[in-house]
Structure 1
């Protein structure tokens, strides 16, 4: 509970990832960031836990999560159960359409199920460390989200956190902060600016390459007596080309090799799991593009002699040459990442002094080698910071402690509302012509622009427009529209324009006003934060309003 100015003594940051999730926390008083590295049924200390849920056949009730869920699937009693993973990709509209989730589950359900069990574990661990001085209501949450996500996808995350019991409908909105993943990583890497001599007016790129998504933004550093601040200088870009796509390509390569065995004593499902685990944990992180790779084969039922020279298998060891590994597995995915980096550099007119590779895929030595060979003539520093897989979660915790480091962001799309405007003969479509309440000829459905793509917006910057309503005393419903069009949209029902949500503005009591009277109001929009918010001023009274985003 509490108002808009409530501060919370504990910050809990969650990086909910496609393949793995992590949590870091900080105590406001000392600002030190800690992460959790012990998880149920974990075989070794590692600060991440698998993002997966276990459900029974036909059931909507989650049974297990994380390492426990993965371990259960190897046991015979669970062979008909469902292990759900990689469902974060369902929130990336660009990578769809997606196969419906099983058992009638929705994306909000499975995210909320996971967050509820994940949160229960981390909450117990954190509060145990603080003794009896604190309880859950003393925690503020920072949840990282891909910068490429739509406003609707972000709204789903907020809804899932609510459904998981992390926050309540009565909490002020800022109790749960959403922060973009590359921005969180930038807050982490900002601490390294002195080490790499990145000074006032200089720029660095964050390439956050995770399991599912790769997100990139360039930030400019400003140094003043008050400290260092950052501002976005490019429109962030992102794509689903994370390291799980290496896994998919590797599995495709192996299936192609072993397809010649057909149904004659083929590999079992357990064999496939073991082979892919070897690739994911041993080969993928170490691959440098130079050395051939050797996979030790698990025991295959009915095959005593594991030798097949046609596919490079000898005495139970499968050889895959470095050239084949590059061509078939790594290069198609790495090339996608390099194209995204190139696009960001073009936006800066190649004025960028450093590139930081972060995230699980950001640890890849081969990705670093390729990035350096491609861009080192243009960019002074291309590096992987310490503990890159924790850059996002640790940065998200820093965002809760020092929330004003990033001063400005860059809009990715056109945002606007529908409005009546002066009708332009020969320009406006004839069927858009209407007469307003005062007898003026107007064009309906015009796209009234609040923000243009590429526009830099301060985090607290308010963009105001004046409107008229004749609906009093009914609430005003103001739809919000967005477009990725290269040119300014003219109409809200035009091509490439989509309605992304509705703002409902309750009208206060206005002395002397009659139903249907002309009422002037100001609609103020704030686009500088990770989530859009709005307020209206009617007759000198300010009414806050939340947007209901639609998919």
Structure 2
């Protein structure tokens, strides 16, 4: 069955996958998509000073002492290392793996600042938008080099975000893209959904066998769990195949910060345990070039660690760590290791640290355990009963250690791992740009509501919420529910309309406060677990009827981003309404 195209007038779709560890872009032309959906173009990034090429580059950005953009990706790493070797890096700004800030920060706003690797601050919006602008420009330059004349209005842009991100984080990324020059035709794609869409088209290997399976061959009603393991976050959804190959989400998107960078943190913690906190702090502070190189080397090395390894594993360690240790402790690391708690399980040889395979594999334990136990918890839910397939995507899914952990924990499940699991999100985002209707419905992650005043109920409402307004006793902070957690909402489906009145007769705008919670039926917006999300502003320019004016508000939750519609109930005219989740002045 032919797929419908949501943007038939667009010549091409261009997608940017902005990852915690690696980022990249891809694009495809509409005519190619119709003939072969998998004909997707990318960029061959060089690995900087290291050998090889990749379809993604490091998510690192460098600014000079004036705060001007200097380099992105492995170019930024190489330039920063060069500066550090010459002790010229101190007033430059070097950011790496900063995307997780949007996951960890529960009160995002436009003026938020983030710290670089040495603690110097810069507006987060500037850092994110600069990176997106670089990727956008790099892509458009590649078109020009091919003598392709493509106008902005002929492009459908797609930007990926984790499905577990908040509405605030999604809006932050949209505004960063706007500042980066993507001022229209922008879709936000949820990463595990994009990966699932890509795998619908891709014949993929089943575990331990050579037989091929294609998600499009799944029968209607088949459920499968998408495990999107990235550098920063683990994103999990459960989808069910519908008639016509569309997908219905059956369990709300969830996950946590157990991505591949947690393994990096475990490695650094291991080194601190071996050489001491003081030595590592001094090394990181005084030897920035070596520290960046150490991080780079481990990123590559960790991909080679496998469950079946039983020989010692060698890590390249900058000689400065040994020198600092000898200076601060009065003995060499080789001498110390013989009497340490690790004993003969580790050995220092020049700039090499050799460790028993069990120690190296142990660096993955906490991360892998967290992931598989979370997957196990999801598979116990009644909504996902009879889910027999796990689809592993994302860069961290390329780790043999994580693959083995999933297969060992779920021997009765069919585990599918596409050959290009690290590119599934990026290429799937392109496919999503051509056909957004492939996702039939999504599960609401929260209960959404608006703070209102309602008639005070003696003996039920708290006395401290009682206010007298124009002779009426009202209760403040009542939670007016628009959607509830776990609710299945079809694509572009609007929830039932709720009506609101102005509090003053001459008001031309009404600002409504939006709250979220994981509770099903909160009574008040300050109940435990309720969180202020942002404001909903509705225009009411006609003040003729004063306090009798009524505005009907509908929220649409079925898309990747929350949308709102508002109308004048008396005239039935649609009025302007806008959501702002990046202003936390209450």
Distance 2:394 2:466 in 1: 53
1:354 to 380, 384, 389: 389
The answer to whether 1:85 aligns with 2:96 is: yes
Q: Which residue of 2 aligns with 1:535?
A: 565
Q: Which residue of 2 aligns with 1:252?
A: 269
Worse-superposed segment, 68-77 or 309-318: 309-318
The answer to whether 1:430 aligns with 2:486 is: no
Distance 1:522 1:130 in 2: 51
Q: Which residue of 1 aligns with 2:329?
A: none
- Displacement of 1:455 after TM fit? 0.6
**3-state SS in 2 of match to 1:469:** coil
Over 3 Å counting, the alpha-carbon distance change for 1:95 and 1:371 in structure 2 is farther
Over 3 Å counting, the alpha-carbon distance change for 1:442 and 1:526 in structure 2 is same
Q: Which residue of 1 aligns with 2:256?
A: 239
Worse-superposed segment, 147-156 or 346-355: 346-355
Over 3 Å counting, the alpha-carbon distance change for 1:211 and 1:300 in structure 2 is same
Q: Which residue of 2 aligns with 1:375?
A: 410
Distance 1:491 1:525 in 2: 19
Is this contact kept in 1: 2:219–2:241, CA < 8 A?
yes
Over 3 Å counting, the alpha-carbon distance change for 1:136 and 1:185 in structure 2 is same
Give ranges in structure 2 of 5+ residues lacking alignment.
1-5, 204-212, 324-331, 339-345
Q: Which residue of 1 aligns with 2:207?
A: none
The answer to whether 1:44 aligns with 2:46 is: no
The answer to whether 1:212 aligns with 2:199 is: no
Distance 1:504 1:95 in 2: 21
Worse-superposed segment, 85-94 or 207-216: 85-94
Over 3 Å counting, the alpha-carbon distance change for 1:442 and 1:122 in structure 2 is same
Q: Which residue of 2 aligns with 1:342?
A: 376
- Displacement of 1:110 after TM fit? 0.4
Aligned length: 529
> C-alpha offsets along residues 195-232 of structure 1, whole Å, 9 cap, x if unaligned?
36531101111111111111101011112xxx210011
Is this contact kept in 1: 2:238–2:384, CA < 8 A?
no
The answer to whether 1:53 aligns with 2:61 is: yes
Q: Which residue of 2 aligns with 1:282?
A: 301
Q: Which residue of 1 aligns with 2:126?
A: 109
Is this contact kept in 1: 2:47–2:54, CA < 8 A?
no
Q: CA RMSD in A?
A: 3.1
Over 3 Å counting, the alpha-carbon distance change for 1:177 and 1:433 in structure 2 is same
Is this contact kept in 2: 1:475–1:504, CA < 8 A?
no
Distance 1:96 1:306 in 2: 44
Distance 2:472 2:350 in 1: 87
> C-alpha offsets along residues 379-431 of structure 1, whole Å, 9 cap, x if unaligned?
2x112112000111111111111110001111111101123334333221123
Worse-superposed segment, 523-532 or 79-88: 79-88
- Displacement of 1:508 after TM fit? 4.9
Worse-superposed segment, 456-465 or 485-494: 485-494
Distance 1:492 1:325 in 2: 48
Over 3 Å counting, the alpha-carbon distance change for 1:293 and 1:14 in structure 2 is farther
- Displacement of 1:21 after TM fit? 0.3
- Displacement of 1:258 after TM fit? 3.6
Alignment of 1:111-510 (within 5 A): 111-129=128-146, 131-132=148-149, 134-167=150-183, 171=184, 175-192=185-202, 195=214, 198-223=218-243, 227-259=244-276, 270-288=289-307, 290-295=309-314, 297=316, 300=319, 310=338, 311-314=346-349, 317-327=352-362, 329-347=363-381, 348-377=383-412, 379=413, 381-434=414-467, 441-463=473-495, 464-469=497-502, 471=504, 474-509=507-542
Worse-superposed segment, 496-505 or 358-367: 496-505
- Displacement of 1:62 after TM fit? 1.7
Is this contact kept in 2: 1:473–1:515, CA < 8 A?
no
**3-state SS in 1 of match to 2:319:** coil
- Displacement of 1:96 after TM fit? 9.9
**3-state SS in 1 of match to 2:28:** strand
Q: Which residue of 2 aligns with 1:519?
A: 549
The answer to whether 1:63 aligns with 2:96 is: no
Distance 1:392 1:260 in 2: 38
Is this contact kept in 2: 1:289–1:322, CA < 8 A?
no
Is this contact kept in 2: 1:266–1:300, CA < 8 A?
no
Worse-superposed segment, 94-103 or 8-17: 94-103
Worse-superposed segment, 141-150 or 121-130: 121-130
> C-alpha offsets along residues 341-386 of structure 1, whole Å, 9 cap, x if unaligned?
1232123354212111111111111111111111122x2x112112
**3-state SS in 2 of match to 1:188:** helix
Is this contact kept in 2: 1:95–1:240, CA < 8 A?
no
- Displacement of 1:275 after TM fit? 4.2
Distance 2:353 2:503 in 1: 75
- Displacement of 1:63 after TM fit? 1.2
Distance 1:375 1:466 in 2: 49
Distance 2:310 2:290 in 1: 25
Is this contact kept in 2: 1:500–1:549, CA < 8 A?
yes
Distance 2:162 2:57 in 1: 19
Distance 1:266 1:26 in 2: 45
> C-alpha offsets along residues 282-302 of structure 1, whole Å, 9 cap, x if unaligned?
333443354334225467379
Distance 1:266 1:217 in 2: 41
**3-state SS in 2 of match to 1:29:** helix
Over 3 Å counting, the alpha-carbon distance change for 1:362 and 1:233 in structure 2 is same
Is this contact kept in 2: 1:37–1:45, CA < 8 A?
no
> C-alpha offsets along residues 143-176 of structure 1, whole Å, 9 cap, x if unaligned?
0111121111111111111111122xxx4xxx11
> C-alpha offsets along residues 300-326 of structure 1, whole Å, 9 cap, x if unaligned?
3798x9965623234764322222223
Distance 1:401 1:285 in 2: 36
